[in-house]
Chain A
Amino acid sequence: MSKIMHLSLFLAVISALAGGALSFANQVTAPVIAENNARLERDSLMTMYPDAAEDDFKEIKFNMDSKTVQKVYEYEDKLIFNMKVPGYKDGTTFLVSINTNDKTVDQYYPLSNGDTKGLGSKVMESDFINNVNGKASDDSIDTISGATISSSGVVNGINEASTYVDQLKGE
């Protein structure tokens, strides 16, 4: 009995130490990682609209209950959504800007995709990007055969974003 106590106690102490070390490392690195991601997002916004100044993108408070919308920016007459949609494995994160007047997709800009390389990752490629850009978000955007789950995740995400446009437009 004392043996088993000793064993479990030892393992518990080791795990506790490991947990402590991890939370310390997380504390140190988390702000840097967050800053990296913010910078990546800002850089992507600038790539989408090279003529804009960095302050032109106004972040809008988003209070609606949505798991996929991460952030919303306003730029001229467009709303830019930062979306994280589920896919086959890790899903896709992307920016999509939607014209508030006619609800067409102005630009779709993929940030990262954690699905199968060569299949799901096609949502990052220019064929799919060109297929999405300029379409009205309520008519059916073509998904990619062979990467149905990843691409319909993205398409559903865009459709969801466009449903929020009217509610956010006035604000």
Chain B
Amino acid sequence: MNRFENFKNGLIKENPVFSLFLGICSTLAITTSVDNAIGMGLAVICVLVLSNCIISLIRNITPDEIHIPVYIVVIATLVKIIQMVIEAYAPSLNTSLGVFIPLIVVNCIILGRAEAFACDHNVLDSALDGIGMGLGYFIAVFVMSFIREVLSTGGFQITNMFNPDQIFLKLTIIPEDFTISMFSSPVGAFLTFAVLAAFVSWYKDRQAKKEEAAAKEGK
């Protein structure tokens, strides 16, 4: 149960993007299309799970004084490997994400989870934490990019990132005359982000009040 709680935490209550406000830079920049968000989300999940596992594996032999440089070397290596894999097998994703793939290195979510969780938990828990937090990031960028792409282009499409000619799903929701192109610009990113963050915070508030009320009744 505790394990499951750990895993679930990352999704809403401690969602890295909307609750902890970590990794906002990439979130704002890459959410122009659902395709980008899926690719970026998957890359972050991979890096986060692997870095959590490795850091948890070496947690007992890492000297305290140099743990940050060690973590950074581990994370940077993983990101570079992921970048090479993306460049080789999903070149179109590489072009559209561009500099934001190498910038995963400085994504605070990854170093943050290494510092806060993986360095004093076992490998399995750390991996679960990585998946949970990674999914939290994935959901955050997915929802944001969905809203932005639908509002700015009227619809969205999901393509196979390994073969850009293959389109899985293409939907038009809003007729072309009613699209708001502003949402594909940075302003749209901030607006979407603010509204979603407010929503998550309202939801958390309500949950907390409910729990409080339940606790009072229990007395």
Does A14 lie at the interface of the complex (its beta carbon under 8 Å from any beta carbon of B)?
A: yes
> Closest Cβ of chain B: how far from A124's Cβ, in Å?
12
Does A22 lie at the interface of the complex (its beta carbon under 8 Å from any beta carbon of B)?
A: yes
Contact A11:B84 (CB < 8 A) given known A18-B77, A22-B77: no
| B66/A29 in contact, CB under 8 A | no
- The number of chain B residues with a CB under 8 A from chain A is 20
Taken residue by residue from 22 to 62, chain A's Cβ proximity to chain B (1 for < 8 Å, 0 otherwise) reads as 10011011101100100010000000000000000000000
| A32/B88 in contact, CB under 8 A | yes
Q: Hey, which chain B residues are within 8 Å of A21, CB to CB?
A: 77, 81
Does B63 lie at the interface of the complex (its beta carbon under 8 Å from any beta carbon of A)?
A: yes
Which one, A15, A30, A40, contacts B73 given CB within 8 A?
A15
Does A67 lie at the interface of the complex (its beta carbon under 8 Å from any beta carbon of B)?
A: no
Taken residue by residue from 23 to 61, chain B's Cβ proximity to chain A (1 for < 8 Å, 0 otherwise) reads as 000000000000000000000000000000000000001
Q: Hey, which chain A residues are within 8 Å of B102, CB to CB?
A: none
Q: Hey, which chain B residues are within 8 Å of A29, CB to CB?
A: 84-85, 87-88
Q: Hey, which chain A residues are within 8 Å of B63, CB to CB?
A: 6-7, 10
- The number of chain A residues with a CB under 8 A from chain B is 19
Does A112 lie at the interface of the complex (its beta carbon under 8 Å from any beta carbon of B)?
A: yes
Does B106 lie at the interface of the complex (its beta carbon under 8 Å from any beta carbon of A)?
A: no
Does B95 lie at the interface of the complex (its beta carbon under 8 Å from any beta carbon of A)?
A: yes
Q: Hey, which chain B residues are within 8 Å of A7, CB to CB?
A: 63, 65-66
Q: Hey, which chain B residues are within 8 Å of A18, CB to CB?
A: 73-74, 76-77
Residue ranges of A at the interface with B (Cβ–Cβ < 8 Å): 6-7, 10-11, 14-15, 18, 21-22, 25-26, 28-30, 32-33, 36, 40, 112
Which one, B65, B76, B89, contacts A32 given CB within 8 A?
B89
| B80/A14 in contact, CB under 8 A | no
> Closest Cβ of chain A: how far from B140's Cβ, in Å?
23
| A10/B74 in contact, CB under 8 A | no
Which one, B66, B73, B85, contacts A25 given CB within 8 A?
B85
22 A-B pairs in the complex with CB atoms less than 8 angstroms apart: A6-B63, A7-B63, A7-B66, A10-B63, A10-B70, A11-B73, A14-B73, A14-B74, A18-B73, A18-B74, A18-B76, A21-B81, A22-B80, A22-B81, A25-B85, A29-B88, A30-B84, A32-B88, A32-B89, A33-B84, A33-B87, A112-B95
CA distance A7 to B62 in the complex (A): 9
> Closest Cβ of chain B: how far from A80's Cβ, in Å?
22
Main SS at interface, chain A:
helix
CA distance A18 to B85 in the complex (A): 16
CA distance A22 to B89 in the complex (A): 17
Q: Hey, which chain B residues are within 8 Å of A22, CB to CB?
A: 77, 80-81
Q: Hey, which chain A residues are within 8 Å of B81, CB to CB?
A: 21-22, 25
| A11/B80 in contact, CB under 8 A | no
Does B218 lie at the interface of the complex (its beta carbon under 8 Å from any beta carbon of A)?
A: no
> Closest Cβ of chain B: how far from A1's Cβ, in Å?
14
CA distance A21 to B66 in the complex (A): 21
Known: A29-B85, A33-B91. 15 other contacts (CB 8 A): A11-B69, A14-B73, A14-B74, A18-B73, A18-B74, A18-B76, A21-B81, A26-B84, A28-B88, A29-B84, A32-B88, A33-B84, A33-B87, A36-B87, A36-B91
User: Of B73, B77, B85, which is in contact with the most chain A CB atoms at under 10 Å from its CB?
Assistant: B77
Q: Hey, which chain B residues are within 8 Å of A10, CB to CB?
A: 61-63, 66, 70
CA distance A36 to B92 in the complex (A): 10
Listed from nearest, the 6 A-B pairs whose CB atoms lie closest are A32-B88, A29-B88, A18-B77, A29-B84, A25-B81, A36-B91
